[in-house]
Structure 1
Amino acid sequence: MSWMFDNVGRLMARLQKPANRSEPFTQNDPKALRDTLRRGDVLLVEGKSRISGGIKYLTQSTWSHSALYVGPMASAATEGEPHVLIEANIDEGVVSAPLSKYLHCQTRICRPVGLSQADCEEVCRYACERIGLGYDFKNVIDQMRYLFPWPVTQRRRRRAIALGSGDPSRIICSSLIAQAFDAVRYPILPKITRVESQTAQREIAEIRHSSLYAPRDFDISPYFMIVKPTLARGFNYKDMVWADLPQDHTAQLTLAPEIEVPIAEAACAGVPG
């Protein structure tokens, strides 16, 4: 059956071509993104290809791809730029990539809260050691079958599908990252069972199978913090320059808090007293 999924994979690779040339709603600041990312961060990407559109539709999410930030890799670079991401993509399988690959895309940083330094190193090492694995096309097909709104219950759909090819040499992007965090028992969206006892109530966590994860799960996980480079570097709305205001008036707005205005003059100027 592997030949059939390889053929499907080639078809899916052709669907990787951009469906449109639209620019992201907000442009990425390359320096801000580089300065903000830390080892162990998950970078979510809003892809523009046709297959990305399908993933976003089925998952009801903005994000169609995920990559793990591991920091500069000494042995990998593109035109002098070090590779800092580990990802699994349809064209190449598990590879490393430079950050510039996604500067033209809408992105989001998801940071694991409280992850120890030792566990962070283990997560990054786990992902790096998977470089060279193939892409699991059957996993993508199974996810589509699971997420597509068939007129049956979710539990029956879960039972009706196999979780990927079962081949340890093949994987998808979100599964790769999920497995890396599972290796150190860091939660993403575990199944929680509440156990009652005579003394207290306990919550028992159970790891979900990595093949069931989608990029959006890192976004909605209660254990990952959303980090926005603009805010992380220090944001002051008074510093913004507005197109509909004269430059000198904008400067006055910026200086306004530092200028003392007499109460009478303030009232004449329409400034609240």
Structure 2
Amino acid sequence: MNWLGEKLGGLLARYLKQPSKNYEPFSAIHPEALQNCLQKGDILLVEGNLRISAAIKYVTQSTWSHAALYVGDALPTPQDGSEPATLVEADLTSGVVAVPLSRYAGFNTRICRPVNLDPKDLEKVVHFAINSIGAKYDLKNVIDLVRYLLPNPPVPVRWRRRLLALGSGDPTRAICSTLIAQAYQLIGYPILPKIKVRKVAGLRGSYYTREYLHIRHHSLYTPRDFDVSPYFEIVKPTIVKSFDYKTLLWAEERPVHKPLNPETDHS
């Protein structure tokens, strides 16, 4: 029955990879500005426009449905002169692949950057991602794909993260954040660890509390987690360098508001 599951899984995957209608970016960054801002080890979050993206965004209560790791010039330069691949990502139908940055031109994106990362640890993260290229999602686990057919599944909020980990085998390869979470857990860099407080015995019978971090399983991480993580810096290409709002060119006259008169104006 494996061949049947693989065939059915392939059909479902191709359906989920079709673009949904009416996607419109609200603040897409120019690819050149994005390229100039990105650093090796950065995580690029993307608001996808695929059918699977709608389900992921609903389940995670976030605008981000995809994540890719920026590896810079770590991959070989194409001999045919084409654009080099600078991102490593997990794709539903292709598995783990390397893609050029232009793939996400015209999409809403966000850069999440690890802070004070040791250069040797950074190389380990990049090396792990590159060595994962070619790994495939097991399409025989059809239950892992069926969950994405309902863009708005009637599941309570507290259970939605667990919904992403349903199934068997490698259940969240379709959720690209799994690959990146594994890479950063390899070096002990926190994303969104569980925090538990314990009482610790002190001197003369006293006690004090101490926080301990517990690692979440990588299969439970979503693109949103890098955005809300307190350990990743949000980098915005439009303001990371010199930005002067007074130099902006507006297409229409800005409205002029009269100051409120406290005697006649009431809210």
TM-score under structure 2 length normalisation: 0.79
For 2:18 and 2:243, how far apart are their aligned partners in 1?
36
Structure 1 range deviating more: 46-55 or 67-76: 67-76
1:8-39 deviation digits (Å, cap 9, x = unpaired): 34313222221125441123222210111011
Q: Note the C-alpha offset of 1:166.
A: 2.8
Corresponding position of 1:122 = 124
Q: Note the C-alpha offset of 1:7.
A: 1.9
The answer to whether 1:213 aligns with 2:221 is yes
Aligned partners of 1:136 and 1:164 also within 8 Å: no
Corresponding position of 2:177 = 174
**Residue among 185, 192, 195 paired with 2:195:** 192
Structure 1 range deviating more: 49-58 or 85-94: 49-58
The secondary structure found in structure 2 opposite 1:234 is: coil
How does 1:102-113 map onto structure 2 within 5 Å? 102-113=104-115
Quickly say closer, same or farther: Cα 1:71–1:162, change in 2 above 3 A: closer
Corresponding position of 2:28 = 27
How many residue pairs get aligned? The number is: 242
Q: Note the C-alpha offset of 1:53.
A: 1.0
Q: Note the C-alpha offset of 1:96.
A: 0.4
Corresponding position of 2:102 = 100
Q: Which runs of 5+ in 1 are unaligned?
A: 247-273
1:199-255 deviation digits (Å, cap 9, x = unpaired): 332211111111111111111111111110001122110110111249xxxxxxxxx
Corresponding position of 2:43 = 42
Quickly say closer, same or farther: Cα 1:167–1:51, change in 2 above 3 A: closer
For 2:99 and 2:127, how far apart are their aligned partners in 1?
15
Percent sequence identity over aligned pairs: 50
Aligned partners of 2:110 and 2:236 also within 8 Å: yes
Q: What's the Cα RMSD here? A: 3.0
**Residue among 115, 135, 154 paired with 2:137:** 135
Whose helix proportion is higher, 1 or 2? 1
Aligned partners of 1:142 and 1:163 also within 8 Å: no
The secondary structure found in structure 2 opposite 1:75 is: coil
Question: Which has the bigger relative contact order, CA under 8 A and spacing at least 6?
Answer: 2
For 2:192 and 2:146, how far apart are their aligned partners in 1?
19
Aligned partners of 1:45 and 1:65 also within 8 Å: yes
Aligned partners of 1:40 and 1:123 also within 8 Å: yes
Aligned partners of 2:92 and 2:174 also within 8 Å: no
Corresponding position of 2:258 = none
For 1:142 and 1:235, how far apart are their aligned partners in 2?
46
1:98-137 deviation digits (Å, cap 9, x = unpaired): 0000012110001111211111111111111100101255
Quickly say closer, same or farther: Cα 1:177–1:100, change in 2 above 3 A: same
Q: Note the C-alpha offset of 1:150.
A: 3.4
Counterpart AA for 1:17: Q
For 1:152 and 1:23, how far apart are their aligned partners in 2?
26
For 2:116 and 2:66, how far apart are their aligned partners in 1?
24
Q: Which runs of 5+ in 2 are unaligned?
A: 203-207, 255-267
Corresponding position of 1:60 = 61
Higher Rg of the two aligned structures: 1
For 2:96 and 2:113, how far apart are their aligned partners in 1?
21
Counterpart AA for 1:243: A
Quickly say closer, same or farther: Cα 1:172–1:154, change in 2 above 3 A: closer
